[in-house]
Structure 1
Amino acid sequence: MANTNAIEMLSDHSGPIKLLQLPEEVRFSLRIDVSLIAKASKALGFKLPDQIGARTDVETGYAAMLGPDEWVIKTSAEDRDSIAFAFTKLYKTTPHSLTDISDREISILLEGGEVTDLLAIGNPLDFRKFKVGRSERTLFDTAQIVLHRDRDDSFKLDVWRSFFPHVWGMLVVGNRELAVKI
């Protein structure tokens, strides 16, 4: 029987940028005092980054520092339970908050030579300073997003589910405008 709650995956190739809604991902939000990240890193199984905007990539995902005491962790479905269990054990000695936010956000892949031009329609960042391997919380138009730069011509944009239609619509229109050089 088909899942009636499943979201139809979207893609757009109407302009120079490939836009693709990505499959759902396992994500956690971790809030912990920065002085305790060594303990959190041990529970996670890899080193958490210690600078805002920095990201640690591993085979099964990544961890990105978004604020002075905040990380987003993306992992495989197979690792979801073991991470949750490790942090439950850690909570006995180390105060923190680990929340599964997998259902909160939808990710969009943006690829192509003019990707920074497309992002600039809704974001004020200077993308010349946004290095590969960086992740940052920012805005797209009025919607809060987390933007990840994976290559010079490739970004992943994470947006809250409720703002997805607005952000997707702006990206599609902007992509079409880039195609006709508006």
Structure 2
Amino acid sequence: MLKAFDPLDAIAPAPFAAPFAVRPAEPCARFSLRIDPASLAQASEAFGLSIPSRIGGVEGEEGRRAVCVGPDEWFLFCRPRDGAALPALFAALPAPLSLVEVSDRECALLVEGPRAAYALMAVCPLDLEAMAAGTATRTLFDKVAVLLVKETPERFRLEFWRSYAAHVHGLLETIGRELAAGL
């Protein structure tokens, strides 16, 4: 059986001495959740994690995480093996909701190191150094819509459509070369 093409398979650690590193994030199941915020407690119980109500709020770790991206919209991340059971858990909720798996559409890169925020700001309009760790935002990376999670002061997770993987990684390689060259 042939393996489906995944543009992240071609991404290797950068061969230059950049002050940041880029690597694909661990595989995960991804879901877009739309629900009335009044039903958030029930949704949190179904997901097994407190789902944040504040836009930009992040709860959980890499194995199970919830990110609030709008007044009634969240991204939920879990281990691939847990993703198959998630729709049934939410189907049991009495509240109207939309839970759509977007695992095949999305991919993620981790950008980390002492100059990670500075590197990302080369093509991102936000002051990522001022952004609090443990928060998230939707923004543009060059012309690519991304969900950016600042996991720690020196580690960022970029979630974006898989079809942009080569473009996003290529930009990061270029920025790394420029920083390594002192530009």
- Same fold, judged at TM 0.5 (above): yes
The reply on whether 1:162 has 2:153 as its aligned counterpart is: no
Q: Give the distance between the partners of 2:38 and 2:30, measured in 1 at CA.
A: 23
- State the TM-score, normalizing by the size of structure 2: 0.91
Aligned-pair CA distance for 1:22: 2.6
Which sections of structure 1, spanning at least 5 residues, go unmatched?
Answer: none
Aligned-pair CA distance for 1:66: 0.5
Letter aligned with residue 44 of structure 2: S
Q: From the superposition, tell whether residues 56 and 175 of structure 1 become closer, same or farther in structure 2 (CA, over 3 Å).
A: same
Tell me if the contact between 1:41 and 1:47 (Cα under 8 Å) persists in the aligned partners: yes
Aligned-pair CA distance for 1:83: 1.4
Letter aligned with residue 181 of structure 1: G
Q: Give the distance between the partners of 2:44 and 2:104, measured in 1 at CA.
A: 24
Q: Give the distance between the partners of 1:4 and 1:37, measured in 2 at CA.
A: 36
> What is residue 10 of structure 1 aligned with on the other side?
11
Q: Give the distance between the partners of 1:158 and 1:4, measured in 2 at CA.
A: 20
- Equivalence map 1:99-114=2 (5 Å): 99-114=100-115
Residues 87-117 of structure 1: CA deviation (Å, up to 9, x unaligned):
1122xx2111001110111111111111111
Q: Give the distance between the partners of 1:105 and 1:145, measured in 2 at CA.
A: 10
Letter aligned with residue 5 of structure 2: N
> What is residue 92 of structure 2 aligned with on the other side?
89
How many residues of Structure 1 are paired with residues of Structure 2 in the alignment? 180
> What is residue 180 of structure 1 aligned with on the other side?
181
Aligned-pair CA distance for 1:24: 3.0
Aligned-pair CA distance for 1:60: 2.6
Tell me if the contact between 1:135 and 1:149 (Cα under 8 Å) persists in the aligned partners: yes
Letter aligned with residue 29 of structure 2: V
Q: Give the distance between the partners of 2:62 and 2:156, measured in 1 at CA.
A: 18
Q: Give the distance between the partners of 2:158 and 2:61, measured in 1 at CA.
A: 19
RMSD: 1.6
Aligned-pair CA distance for 1:58: 4.4
> What is residue 78 of structure 2 aligned with on the other side?
75
Q: Give the distance between the partners of 2:4 and 2:163, measured in 1 at CA.
A: 18
> What is residue 124 of structure 2 aligned with on the other side?
123
Which sections of structure 2, spanning at least 5 residues, go unmatched?
Answer: none
Aligned-pair CA distance for 1:4: 4.8
Residues 124-143 of structure 1: CA deviation (Å, up to 9, x unaligned):
11123311111111110111
Q: Give the distance between the partners of 1:85 and 1:159, measured in 2 at CA.
A: 26
Aligned-pair CA distance for 1:6: 4.4
Q: Give the distance between the partners of 2:110 and 2:10, measured in 1 at CA.
A: 12
